[in-house]
Structure 1
Amino acid sequence: MKSPHEHNQDIQRQVEKRLQEMDDQIHAIDAPFYQTQKHQPEPSQKPWLKKLILGGKFFGLAVATLVAVRVASALAGIVIFGALVFLVYKLFLESKFKKP
Structure 2
Amino acid sequence: MATKYAVSALTEGLRQEIREAKTHIRATSISPGIVETEFIYRLYSDNPEKAKASYSRLKTLEAIDVANAVVYVLSAPPHVEVGELLLRPVEQQI
Q: TM-score range by the shorter chain?
A: under 0.3
Pick the structure with greater CA Rg.
Answer: 1
Normalized against structure 1, the TM-score is what?
Answer: 0.22
Higher helix share: 1
Identify, as 1 or 2, the structure richer in strand.
Answer: 2
Whose relative contact order is higher, 1 or 2, with alpha carbons under 8 Å and at least 6 apart? Answer: 2
Q: What's the TM-score once normalised by structure 2's chain length?
A: 0.23
